[in-house]
């Protein structure tokens, strides 16, 4: 089989790495890929990003399955284009991808379908948004309506910060094209809940928990994610059932009922809180229409089954027959970011010699490229060092021991990934 992966990040490197292990796969193409996939013997980078050109490539190369990693091509309608040419592709249509591409659409959908979420209101007018903030409790969450690579969320601690965020997000709003979603701040612990859907059947993947903030102790600005681990012990069997029954199943059924049948990866960011110290509640923070990054990296490290078998079922509408085996060990990934990430990351710094991968350690590249024969930084999140261990603590030790051997100018990373689980 020939497989095409669309994307260039750590998530796509992890997907390609796992799929390439299948004895059924002869070639994995990744468009456009990165410095890490460039060196692989089974994975081949192709410098194509245009959707129609990708479809032509898939036809010319007899690609059996295309898997879409990032959100932008999904929101641009890559699935619609491929399906119009009878090409097999795993992901949601442009219409279904609005669950991620529009925060306002997602919130309205949740309200219509009784899916638990935070109280909110949407605004296109600056003065009305500021007036709303004045009446609500601080801190308060302000979200840009469109895609923002995981960074379009600000938790405003003060009125001044809220006002500045509103000005930044909708400011001079010509023809009311920009929106902000303002919602209550929820107190609890967040988990990443990712499933696959063929439009009818739902196939949960391993649970995970990521670290959104840039700095240790969950401080600093929000990022696309600075690290993650799997499984998330926070999600007990009872909570797993609760999330499926209250969030995931109503979402897949609701999308189908509204004429937006959802196929692909569905990521629900779930806040888990406690009422009166006993009963736990769940509320949906956001939906993503693809696997999370960096959650994908530890999840793929723990997957022992042939991922192609599962993707086959997903493409053919038989996910109810799919089976999966997970490694009992914990996997933990630490993101190495470029200087000045996330504001204005510097690129072009040379990355020194990397440690060799091992059975229990893999370095998944993201913002890297090959330039004049040298490996250099090429994005905000540069790579994710991911390790397996018998405990979160052991996996973390292996990851940080590996990081100690990596160096590039301005390299920054959190020193406390997995702290909640270890605590």
> What is the residue extent of each domain of the chain?
2-91, 119-184, 189-422
Dihedral sign (CA 384, 342, 407, 366):
positive
Of the candidate CATH numbers 3.40.50.2300, 3.90.1260.10, 3.40.50.720, 3.30.470.20, the domain formed by 189-422 belongs to: 3.30.470.20
Average pLDDT over residues 353-375: 94
* 190 neighbors 270 (Cβ within 8 angstroms): yes
d(CA 161, CA 167): 10
CB count within 10 Å of CB 423 equals: 6
Per residue in 21-63, pLDDT tens? 999 999 999 999 999 999 888 899 999 999 999 999 999 999 9
Per residue in 112-141, pLDDT tens? 999 999 999 999 999 999 999 999 999 999
Taking the alpha carbons at both ends of the chain, their separation in whole angstroms is 45
Q: Does CATH place domain 119-184 in 3.30.1490.20?
A: yes
3-state secondary structure of 227: strand
- Owner of token pair 């930084």: 377
d(CA 394, CA 276): 34
Q: Could you tell me the fold of the domain covering 2-91?
A: Rossmann fold (3.40.50)
* 401 neighbors 387 (Cβ within 8 angstroms): no
- pTM summary value: 0.93
Residue 276 has pLDDT above 80, yes or no: no
pLDDT of residue 40: 83
d(CA 181, CA 166): 10
d(CA 230, CA 329): 9
- Taken as a whole, the chain contains a residue count of 423
Closest C-alpha among 423, 381, 409, 407 to residue 149: 381
d(CA 423, CA 417): 11
When computed from its CA atoms, the radius of gyration of the chain, rounded to whole angstroms, is 21
Residue 306 has pLDDT above 60, yes or no: yes
DSSP string, 3-51: EEEEE-SHHHHHHHHHHTT-TT-SEEEEEE--HHHHT-SSEEE-----H
């Amino acid at each position: 089989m020939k497989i095409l992966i669309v994307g260039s990040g750590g998530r796509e490197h992890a997907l390609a790495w796992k799929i390439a292990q299948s004895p059924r796969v002869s070639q994995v193409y990744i468009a456009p890929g990165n410095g890490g996939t460039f060196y692989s013997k089974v994975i081949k980078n192709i410098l194509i990003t245009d959707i129609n050109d990708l479809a032509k490539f898939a036809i010319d190369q007899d690609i059996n399955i295309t898997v879409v990693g990032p959100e932008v091509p999904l929101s641009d309608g890559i699935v619609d284009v491929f399906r119009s040419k009878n090409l097999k592709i795993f992901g949601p249509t442009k219409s279904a991808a609005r669950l991620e591409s529009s925060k306002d659409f997602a919130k309205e959908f949740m309200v219509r379908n009784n899916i638990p979420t935070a109280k909110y209101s949407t605004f296109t007018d600056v003065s009305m948004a500021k007036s709303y903030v004045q009446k609500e409790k601080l801190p308060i969450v302000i979200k840009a309506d469109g895609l923002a690579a995981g960074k379009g969320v600000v938790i405003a601690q003060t009125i001044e910060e809220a006002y500045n965020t509103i000005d930044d997000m909708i400011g001079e709003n010509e023809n009311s094209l920009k929106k902000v979603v303002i919602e209550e701040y929820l107190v609890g612990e967040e988990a990443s809940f990712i499933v696959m859907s063929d439009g009818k059947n739902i196939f949960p993947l391993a649970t995970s928990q990521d670290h959104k903030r840039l700095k240790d102790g969950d401080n600093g600005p929000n990022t696309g994610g600075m690290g993650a681990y799997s499984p998330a012990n926070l999600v007990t069997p009872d909570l797993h059932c609760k999330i499926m029954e209250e969030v995931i199943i109503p979402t897949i059924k609701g999308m189908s009922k509204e004429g937006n049948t959802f196929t692909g990866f569905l990521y629900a960011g779930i806040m888990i809180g406690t009422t009166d110290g006993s009963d736990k509640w769940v509320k949906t923070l956001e939906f993503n229409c693809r696997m999370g990054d960096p959650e994908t990296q530890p999840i793929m490290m723990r997957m022992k089954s042939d991922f192609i078998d599962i993707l086959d079922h997903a493409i053919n509408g038989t996910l109810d027959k799919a089976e999966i085996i997970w490694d009992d060990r914990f996997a933990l990934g630490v993101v190495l970011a470029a200087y000045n990430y996330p504001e204005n990351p510097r690129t072009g710094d040379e990355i020194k010699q990397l440690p060799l991968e091992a059975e229990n350690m893999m370095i998944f590249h993201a913002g890297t490229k090959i330039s004049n024969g040298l490996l250099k930084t090429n994005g905000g999140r540069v790579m994710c060092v991911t390790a397996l261990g018998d405990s979160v603590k052991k996996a973390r030790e292996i990851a940080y021991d590996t990081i100690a051997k990596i160096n590039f100018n301005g390299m920054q990373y959190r020193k406390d990934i997995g702290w909640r689980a270890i605590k």
